[in-house]
């Protein structure tokens, strides 16, 4: 595991921990989408309902955790531009996670 991966893992856990309280209790799946241009000036973020009723807004804590992810990647010059983190509540009560990352060409 690279240094970047080792340092990013606890940030990914913090993102998930901060995302859960932002969700309506009936949601069983969601997608967190965030992007930041190479300049690092303005981060955009949204929480998608994926067809479920209700809406979710990112908390200040969630925004801070995602910002930390981009700052870390900037420090390693990874070229990270955007993330899509998908979560789904499994029958056993645990959440599955999948991450999709977009990097500069």
Domain boundaries, the chain: 3-103
Distance CA 7, CA 72 (A): 8
Which CATH code is given to the segment(s) 3-103? Answer: 3.30.500.20
Q: What is the pLDDT of residues 60-81, one digit of tens each?
A: 999 999 999 999 999 999 999 9
The pLDDT value given to residue 76: 95
- Closest to 30 (Cα-Cα) out of 47, 45, 9: 47
The pLDDT value given to residue 1: 63
Bridge-based pairing of strands 80-89 and 44-48 is unpaired
Q: Which residues of the chain have pLDDT under 70?
A: 1, 40
Cα–chain center distance at 81: 12
């Amino acid at each position: 595991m690279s240094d970047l991966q080792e340092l990013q893992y606890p940030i990914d856990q913090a993102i998930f921990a901060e995302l859960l309280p932002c969700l309506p209790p009936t949601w069983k799946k969601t997608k967190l989408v965030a992007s930041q241009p190479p300049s690092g000036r303005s981060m955009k973020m949204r929480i998608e309902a994926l067809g479920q009723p209700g809406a979710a807004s990112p908390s200040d804590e969630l925004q801070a955790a995602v910002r930390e992810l981009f700052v870390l990647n900037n420090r390693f010059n990874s070229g990270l531009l955007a993330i899509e983190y998908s979560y789904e509540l499994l029958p056993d009560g645990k959440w599955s996670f999948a991450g999709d990352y977009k990097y500069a060409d």
